[in-house]
Structure 1
């Protein structure tokens, strides 16, 4: 800017909230394949509490009711310099029915794909018939199996863990997930049991797969869509709204490319108004959006666009992530609903006209293949950078045709423009006066017409030049 005679120190920032955040930490980081430990056990024995203790942070949703965890949820863990993956699972019951049967199936899949298994038993209760049934299955497994006796909060229960030898899984490790008692010894034993490299290295690559967050209100079909694109029962699906609680992380090969999809809990209400399990699930959904590069917002095409749908879209927009709107359950849409939807899009989603849109049916698989091209388009826009010379040449033509409106008896001038960052594309305009919000929206609209940016938010920030007299006065004070 110096060669143009412009000193950045002469400008003050305006609309700093529009400048946005940069790319999430580690977006370009490589994905390293790590061995996997599956944590299994019957409901309410403290698996998620123990997982949080081993991670050293509160990741898994915990509440004092059975059946909170339902899916296979993977977390990155580190102990004594070695990295591994912890997979928390729902309660496993051999004779479960309905929703619990689907949860148990997820636990069984976790065991089949893990490099080692940790069975968690409630030491305060002892080995139940369900624990014995689980142990019989694990004894036939070709994976290393460890036994954790949890809820051993003091020495009084340590002696009782000896009775767990009868499960035939080796030495029980007494541990307290709540207080951390014995967790270090358990982690040492886990590292001994885990192989140096995992059996399955699917998805490991130098650049790492792009991160996609599946978000939306409850019961719009997020888990069904994840199961459809992954080709397996990766998430528990049930007619009960709000089945997913923890974010479910999956590597999915779609259209010849590996993506990291994160299925999230449906957002019923504002995070501040939620409570208990729903509150922590909402926090994790928000964190999943911020950690993603592109968000796929699912909407139920058979129902009118709701306030919750708009709130989720606003969360993605405020986080500065690329956006793809996927209208699910398209197999239920008739001609009347199509006409009504057209009016709703013009009225309720006018602020995100730039978002990519795909109409699909997770149930039948209709048009699911179109999601990958939409994701690529959105991410290309999110990463796009406009050369400064081309940007200012275009801006001069636009301003010559449509000058900024007069403000306070003076017409502000745009002296210079530059793209400050990508992810999302953020532009800074250096001016002699404040630009009205309407004119900034006009510039954004023309910017999209010229350069595209389909599927990505665009942010405009204005920096107004301070008066020379004020600058001279401040310089004199500094002397």
Structure 2
């Protein structure tokens, strides 16, 4: 019986009252623009998590003490509950305050709650310290009881280097945990999609087969339902799965009740805990804006993604009755549907397409075989020699464009993780690694190793990064 190990990164949480710049600081530390930055308090409701350099996971939490005029009271309560769930699970807490405003009563209230609930070190980060006068006044925050504040300006990159030193000196080493043996584990498949696209129908169709052995999984919520099943594949081989049927995920801007808020929260948690996520699309409507947002959420969570086009029976029936205007036959319609969807979802990692009908059962069983295959792919360890040859061949075939000096170069590549695949690139100039070129290398690696549906993360290590000082 074999077992595998995976790494668990230390967690660093950004907490504080609304509008002190947590999300901007989150983006500065992560080096991207993942969190929404806006002057309106309470823009961040959910806890966002991003891995930084493969060394720690950074959590951006909602503002504590959001006025009820900016959100319903139940939403405010739910946001704060999530903040303190993050606090209790973190290895380091960065209490973000506004250096220009100084200590306000809400800062003191939050500090008191952290002293009661935090189980790890707490450091104060005084943001918006854009000049020496503001930076010199941060000693005022000492009275909060967590020592000297670290003056930074997320907007102007001031003090970020010192902040990184504080983080690295206060977090524990990466832990490695042993996963359950391959023979005993179940592949967790989660179905997501907009409301009424057929998620429950597909689950019910799979469970209605007399070949399936079904048992309830205790502890599930009323809107994220999980069922264990054993599926007999050919050659007397039993596939073990856990199917999770989620509620339809609504955009945050349209979430008006605590029920919807928690429903969304549970759906996102189900995605994060999945092995493979199946995003359901409607055969007759194509890819919608909400479908694109859902696909983005799955990739942000680092989970493998398969696209399932449901209600294919409607298309087949339409061609039996005379066809669909502009298409020769069902096969032509399928080909055009896929090409249009791939264009809309260009950012996906070559995700497989399945065309099914939950109503008739057409090709529904292909979900299980595909889930098993994708789960196996995403757990591979790629040969280092072949990986380096592949990356260098891709760079030779399409060299990065020159910008103000030397071009971007990769000296060596090593795989450091999976689910998602994580590669460390030792390079000359990390800041030259443009997003379009990142997608090019991702697509090339996925194509070369046939890693369809599996997201990739790059961690860049270079001289500029090691010697960047305050700007890191």
After TM superposition, the score normalised by the length of structure 2 is 0.52
Tell me which residue corresponds to 1:226. Answer: 203
Mapped to 2, the partners of 1:20 and 1:226 lie a distance apart of 38
Tell me which residue corresponds to 2:451. Answer: 453
User: For each residue in 1:361-391, what CA deviation from the matched residue of structure 2 results, as whole angstroms up to 9, or x when unmatched?
Assistant: 1111100121122112221221122122221
Tell me which residue corresponds to 1:323. Answer: 305
Corresponding residue SS for 2:378: helix
- 1:326-365 equivalence runs, <5 A: 326-333=308-315, 334=318, 335-336=323-324, 338=333, 341-342=337-338, 344-352=340-348, 354-365=350-361
| Alignment partner of 1:273 is 2:273 | no
Deviation at 1:205, TM superposition (A): 9.3
| Alignment partner of 1:261 is 2:243 | yes
User: For each residue in 1:183-203, what CA deviation from the matched residue of structure 2 results, as whole angstroms up to 9, or x when unmatched?
Assistant: xxxxxxxxxxxxxxxxxxxxx
Deviation at 1:419, TM superposition (A): 1.0
Kept in 1, the 8 Å contact 2:350–2:443? The answer is: no
Mapped to 1, the partners of 2:295 and 2:464 lie a distance apart of 37
Mapped to 2, the partners of 1:311 and 1:397 lie a distance apart of 33
Corresponding residue SS for 2:454: coil
Deviation at 1:439, TM superposition (A): 2.0
Tell me which residue corresponds to 2:186. Answer: 209
- 1:30-429 equivalence runs, <5 A: 207-231=184-208, 246-254=223-231, 255=233, 256-270=238-252, 273-333=255-315, 334=318, 335-336=323-324, 338=333, 341-342=337-338, 344-352=340-348, 354-429=350-425
CA distance 1:344–1:458, shift in 2 (3 Å): same
Kept in 1, the 8 Å contact 2:349–2:455? The answer is: no
Kept in 2, the 8 Å contact 1:214–1:295? The answer is: yes
Kept in 2, the 8 Å contact 1:324–1:356? The answer is: yes
Corresponding residue SS for 2:455: coil
CA distance 1:361–1:419, shift in 2 (3 Å): same
User: For each residue in 1:71-108, what CA deviation from the matched residue of structure 2 results, as whole angstroms up to 9, or x when unmatched?
Assistant: xxxxxxxxxxxxxxxxxxxxxxxxxxxxxxxxxxxxxx
Corresponding residue SS for 2:347: helix
- After the TM superposition, which of the residue ranges 364-373 and 251-260 deviates more from structure 2? 251-260
Kept in 2, the 8 Å contact 1:21–1:320? The answer is: no
| Alignment partner of 1:439 is 2:437 | yes
User: How large is the Cα RMSD of the aligned pairs?
Assistant: 3.4
Tell me which residue corresponds to 1:466. Answer: 464
Kept in 2, the 8 Å contact 1:214–1:296? The answer is: yes
After TM superposition, the score normalised by the length of structure 1 is 0.51
Mapped to 2, the partners of 1:271 and 1:322 lie a distance apart of 26
Deviation at 1:223, TM superposition (A): 0.9
CA distance 1:401–1:296, shift in 2 (3 Å): closer
Mapped to 1, the partners of 2:250 and 2:365 lie a distance apart of 29
Tell me which residue corresponds to 1:477. Answer: none
Name structure 2 gaps, 5 residues minimum. 1-28, 33-49, 58-84, 86-180, 216-220, 328-332
Kept in 1, the 8 Å contact 2:30–2:52? The answer is: no
Deviation at 1:247, TM superposition (A): 0.6
Kept in 2, the 8 Å contact 1:405–1:439? The answer is: no
Kept in 1, the 8 Å contact 2:54–2:459? The answer is: no
Mapped to 2, the partners of 1:399 and 1:205 lie a distance apart of 36
Tell me which residue corresponds to 1:141. Answer: none
Mapped to 2, the partners of 1:20 and 1:313 lie a distance apart of 24
CA distance 1:20–1:267, shift in 2 (3 Å): farther
Name structure 1 gaps, 5 residues minimum. 1-12, 25-56, 58-203, 236-243, 475-479
CA distance 1:272–1:408, shift in 2 (3 Å): farther
CA distance 1:383–1:205, shift in 2 (3 Å): closer
Tell me which residue corresponds to 2:164. Answer: none
Corresponding residue SS for 2:353: strand
Mapped to 2, the partners of 1:366 and 1:20 lie a distance apart of 44
Kept in 2, the 8 Å contact 1:384–1:453? The answer is: no
CA distance 1:402–1:375, shift in 2 (3 Å): same
CA distance 1:393–1:347, shift in 2 (3 Å): closer
Deviation at 1:257, TM superposition (A): 1.1
Mapped to 1, the partners of 2:226 and 2:261 lie a distance apart of 20
Answer 1 or 2: higher relative contact order, Cα 8 Å, separation at least 6. Answer: 1
Mapped to 1, the partners of 2:291 and 2:298 lie a distance apart of 11
Kept in 1, the 8 Å contact 2:53–2:460? The answer is: no
